[in-house]
Amino acid sequence: MGTASQRGLKSVGLFLFFGAAMTFLAGTLLIHPGTILDRAWVLNPVAQRELARFGKPLGIVFVLLGAVFVVAAIGWLRHRYWAWRLTVVVMAAQLVGDLINFIRGDHLRGGLGFLIAGALLLYLVRRDVRVVFMRERLAIGR
C-alpha cells in the first residue's frame, strides 16, 4: 500500500466544505422559511417535507452542524488527528443514516448514499490515510 495521494486528501477536505455549505443552506431555509431561498428545496423536496415540520430549532442545529463541518474541513486540510477522527465519526453517522433511509424504503437514495458513505469511510480508515494524520499527533507526543 502506497502513501495517501494529496488529491484524495484534498478531495475529502472539499467534500467537507461542500457538506458545510449544504448544511448551512438547509439550516438557513429552516430558520427563514417563505423566502426566495425556498426555491433551493427543489433539489430535495422529500427533505423539505420531512424537515420543515421541525422548523427553526432544527435549522439552528443544522447551522451548528455546518460549523462542525467547516472546523473538520480546516483541520483535515491541516492534517490534524482530531479532524481525522471527527471526519470518521461524521461519515459513520452518515452511513448509519443512509442505512436507516434504505430500511425505511428509500432504496435508491439510501442505498446509493450507503455505498458512497461506505466507500469514503473505507478510504478514511486506510492505513496510508491514517498515517498522514498520525504524524502530527506523534510529533507532539500525545
Chain segment 112-132, per-residue pLDDT in tens: 999 999 999 999 999 999 999
Q: In this structure, is the dihedral angle defined by the CA atoms of residues 71, 76, 79 and 85, taken in order, positive or negative?
A: positive
CB 24 within 8 A of CB 62: yes
- Output Rg (C-alpha) for the chain, integer angstroms: 17
- Check residues 76 and 38 and name the one with the higher pLDDT: 76
Q: Give, as one character, the DSSP assignment of residue 3.
A: P
Nearest to 51 by CA among 36, 41, 65, 39: 41
Domain boundaries, the chain: 6-139
Mean pLDDT of the region 5-31: 93
Q: Taking the model in full, what pTM does it have?
A: 0.83
pLDDT in tens, 37-74: 888 888 888 888 888 889 899 999 999 999 999 999 99
In the chain, % of residues over pLDDT 70: 93
SS3 87: helix
pLDDT band at 1 (very low <50, low <70, confident <90, very high): very low
Give the dihedral of Cα atoms 141, 74, 86, 19; nearest 10 deg: -170
* Cα gap 116→142, rounded to integer Å: 32
Q: What is the mean pLDDT of residues 96-106?
A: 91
